[in-house]
A and B are shown apart, each in its own frame.
Chain A
């Protein structure tokens, strides 16, 4: 029996082995990626990565003066007009200064008015009275002199009296002249140079007020363009630094049309021709492509800025930046990354 059993056993064993091998051999199937990667759009193309930006380029708002933020009436995403208030800085000290300067203006103004409105009307009658008095005295002195001169007999008068009365007339004349000139001085009013000084002082005080007003106006930060607030990194109570900041206080831009800033490796730059058509797709939805219109290229090749946003990273290559325009009404945002296919010149190998 055994001699027949062995072949039978062997047949079963072989059948089992064949089945087992077939079962254990993994089926090698080539799969598709879970989401389709951005595919080549042109037979000859350049690959590039780009960052979406506002058509006005992204404006990082800077301040001429530092200060404490008191009010931010806008939020990110708001559309703003040119000149619309974006945020205000603390202005209490300048307001106090303004009050001081304004009082200085009032003072200068009062001084000028005083000068301009001289002579004081009440001062004229006493002076006039003094002139009249001097006139009366002169007449009296003249009368006295005439009386004594009308005496024909020289012996009847003393020479001394005659001389005194003559002097008396002269004195009265001088007094009249003095009273008259005093009246004239009074009537002439303020001296012009004095008025000029007072006017200049007023102007200076006014200018100082204007300067404070200008400083105050600078504390009200307004939008330099009509556009959209892309990012707002400042809140009431925070201290806003003047000058260029690594993290801008506010990012503005015109987003009605979006632009795409694409980086082309310098080694590929020779294959790029200005005006070449391109298509782009956003990360995560490569199936949807957007036609792009060439706008311009930046003729200066710059070191590549890594899109990871880490400032300490060193440069590994230089890139040619090309600006493309995105079609209108796309659900895309400034700051988004895009993969580009740019039609390239025929390869020369």
Chain B
């Protein structure tokens, strides 16, 4: 009986391919759009994700998201260190500055200042150079995008100079960091040096990065810090999501992508579902014949489900590989870094596709069950 089902499915080559490609393209459309959306949104929290060594961020109580910062006082750092359960705490500066290349090209850059003695939170994926050389005076690390903007098409070379707020700085390392939302270059330097680059303000400590002592849940420590200092303390992932939600709520991006994803879902469902439904309807005669020779309804339902699964699996496999190929080809593009096919998207798309084919076959099954075997013998 399985063989009969397979033969029925592949008997008409055009319908067979039509079904497969309908499912493949809706798979591609859904997984691709959702991946790009996820990539774009996770970019907003790139600087949080880049900090791999501290898991708690402390900030002003009214901070909304990563990019708008009200500085803490220097003494807050020591108050946080005094809270039991804090293994260590270090300052972090995040601000903006303008960098000018040797040929006069300039760009706004994100300036990160990491604790002088520990360099906590510095990116670890070093493309070229040595991150510990940041301890030298007037030295910076820059991300690949920044380097390629200021020195387009040139090989990675250290000790080149940039002008940062009228100060000449040397590049001592080129790092691979997560892309910021608008893909600005990111400059990493020491905390005190970053303060000098941006000029004098009274309070400049943007964040305090902290770590909980082993065995203490981070959630409890963030509560303790908030209690004792009146500041806001979040874990990295909480802060990342808070930042992402800020962009979701205050920009048009989710609406735009949401519509695309929903359209992909609807188109995929409708096309795949309808094609499969029509395929079953057209094969009603064959099912009728099978019923006439005494095949049970259950057997027929099994056949239809098998057909749906085969078509769904082949379509999904081809569709998801199209997405994978797309992201494979864009991996080397620095401006598109961070966009990738997420495992969760792969799983979600699979679930959606199989739900679609299951629904479509369910509709068809109803027609086959209520079918009178005699219909075969009518004209």
Instruction: Confirm or deny: B88 has a beta carbon within 8 angstroms of a beta carbon on chain A.
Output: yes
Q: Are A40 and B13 in contact (CB under 8 A)?
A: no
Tell which of B81, B119, B321 has the most Cβ of chain A within 10 Å: B81
Q: How far is the CA of A263 from the CA of B78 in the complex (A)?
A: 9
Given known contacts A20-B324, A21-B346, is B16 in contact with A3 (CB within 8 Å)? yes
A349 to chain B, nearest CB (A): 7
Using CB atoms and an 8 Å cutoff, list the residues of chain A in contact with chain B: 2-3, 6-7, 9-11, 13-14, 16-18, 20-21, 24-25, 28-40, 43-49, 263-265, 267-268, 271, 283-286, 304, 306, 308, 310, 313-314, 316-317, 319, 339, 341, 344, 347, 349
**Of the candidates B87, B124, B328, which one forms a contact with A39 in the assembled complex, judged by CB atoms under 8 Å apart?**
B87
Q: Which of B69-77, B259-267, B287-295 contacts A (4 or more CB under 8 A)?
A: B69-77
Q: Are A30 and B75 in contact (CB under 8 A)?
A: no
Q: Are A37 and B115 in contact (CB under 8 A)?
A: yes
**Cβ–Cβ < 8 Å partners of B89 in chain A:** 37, 47
* A281 to B, closest residue via Cβ: B117
Q: Are B324 and A39 in contact (CB under 8 A)?
A: no
Q: How far is the CA of A48 from the CA of B89 in the complex (A)?
A: 12
Q: Are B310 and A7 in contact (CB under 8 A)?
A: yes
**Of the candidates B13, B53, B213, B318, which one forms a contact with A31 in the assembled complex, judged by CB atoms under 8 Å apart?**
B53
Q: Are A47 and B318 in contact (CB under 8 A)?
A: no
Q: Are B81 and A316 in contact (CB under 8 A)?
A: no
Q: How far is the CA of A272 from the CA of B59 in the complex (A)?
A: 25
Instruction: Confirm or deny: B157 has a beta carbon within 8 angstroms of a beta carbon on chain A.
Output: no
* B residues 66-125 in Cβ contact with A at 8 Å: 73-75, 77-82, 84, 86-90, 115-122, 124
**Of the candidates A47, A308, A339, which one forms a contact with B79 in the assembled complex, judged by CB atoms under 8 Å apart?**
A47
**Of the candidates A29, A43, A310, A317, which one forms a contact with B84 in the assembled complex, judged by CB atoms under 8 Å apart?**
A43
Tell which of B115, B321, B325 has the most Cβ of chain A within 10 Å: B321
**Cβ–Cβ < 8 Å partners of A9 in chain B:** 314, 317-318
B30 to chain A, nearest CB (A): 14
Q: Which of B241-249, B250-258, B337-345, B358-366 contacts A (4 or more CB under 8 A)?
A: B337-345
**Cβ–Cβ < 8 Å partners of A349 in chain B:** 227-228
* A47 to B, closest residue via Cβ: B81
Q: How far is the CA of A314 from the CA of B200 in the complex (A)?
A: 12
Q: How far is the CA of A45 from the CA of B73 in the complex (A)?
A: 20
* B residues 15-53 in Cβ contact with A at 8 Å: 16-17, 20, 52-53
* A36 to B, closest residue via Cβ: B118
* B residues 312-345 in Cβ contact with A at 8 Å: 313-318, 320-321, 323-325, 327-328, 331, 340-343
Given known contacts A10-B317, A20-B327, A24-B331, is B202 in contact with A40 (CB within 8 Å)? no
**Of the candidates B16, B82, B202, B228, which one forms a contact with A6 in the assembled complex, judged by CB atoms under 8 Å apart?**
B16
Q: Are A17 and B317 in contact (CB under 8 A)?
A: yes
Q: Are B116 and A33 in contact (CB under 8 A)?
A: no
Q: Can you name 16 A-B pairs with beta carbons within 8 Å?
A: A3-B10, A9-B318, A10-B313, A16-B325, A20-B324, A24-B327, A29-B52, A32-B53, A37-B90, A40-B213, A46-B82, A284-B117, A316-B74, A316-B202, A317-B73, A319-B75
**Cβ–Cβ < 8 Å partners of A10 in chain B:** 313-318
**Cβ–Cβ < 8 Å partners of B165 in chain A:** none
Q: Are A25 and B115 in contact (CB under 8 A)?
A: no
**Cβ–Cβ < 8 Å partners of B87 in chain A:** 39-40
Given known contacts A43-B84, A265-B75, is B120 in contact with A37 (CB within 8 Å)? yes
Given known contacts A20-B341, A31-B53, A32-B53, is B346 in contact with A314 (CB within 8 Å)? no
Q: How far is the CA of A313 from the CA of B73 in the complex (A)?
A: 12
Q: How far is the CA of A316 from the CA of B79 in the complex (A)?
A: 14
Q: Are A33 and B120 in contact (CB under 8 A)?
A: yes
Q: Are A344 and B320 in contact (CB under 8 A)?
A: no
Given known contacts A31-B53, A33-B90, A33-B120, is B324 in contact with A17 (CB within 8 Å)? yes
A197 to chain B, nearest CB (A): 70
Given known contacts A29-B52, A47-B79, is B317 in contact with A13 (CB within 8 Å)? yes
**Of the candidates A14, A25, A285, which one forms a contact with B320 in the assembled complex, judged by CB atoms under 8 Å apart?**
A14
Q: How far is the CA of A339 from the CA of B116 in the complex (A)?
A: 13
Instruction: Confirm or deny: B271 has a beta carbon within 8 angstroms of a beta carbon on chain A.
Output: no
Q: How far is the CA of A2 from the CA of B346 in the complex (A)?
A: 26
* A35 to B, closest residue via Cβ: B118
Q: Are A314 and B202 in contact (CB under 8 A)?
A: yes
Instruction: Confirm or deny: B132 has a beta carbon within 8 angstroms of a beta carbon on chain A.
Output: yes
Q: Are A34 and B78 in contact (CB under 8 A)?
A: no
**Cβ–Cβ < 8 Å partners of A267 in chain B:** 79
**Cβ–Cβ < 8 Å partners of A6 in chain B:** 16-17, 20, 314
**Nearest 3 Cβ contacts at the A-B interface:** A47-B81, A13-B321, A10-B317
Q: Are A25 and B343 in contact (CB under 8 A)?
A: yes
Q: How far is the CA of A46 from the CA of B228 in the complex (A)?
A: 12
Q: How far is the CA of A313 from the CA of B192 in the complex (A)?
A: 15
Q: Are A31 and B124 in contact (CB under 8 A)?
A: yes
Q: How far is the CA of A310 from the CA of B316 in the complex (A)?
A: 65
Q: Are B119 and A33 in contact (CB under 8 A)?
A: yes
**Cβ–Cβ < 8 Å partners of A313 in chain B:** 202
- Extra pairs beyond A2-B13, A283-B117 (9, CB < 8 Å): A24-B340, A31-B53, A33-B53, A37-B120, A40-B88, A304-B74, A308-B192, A339-B81, A349-B227
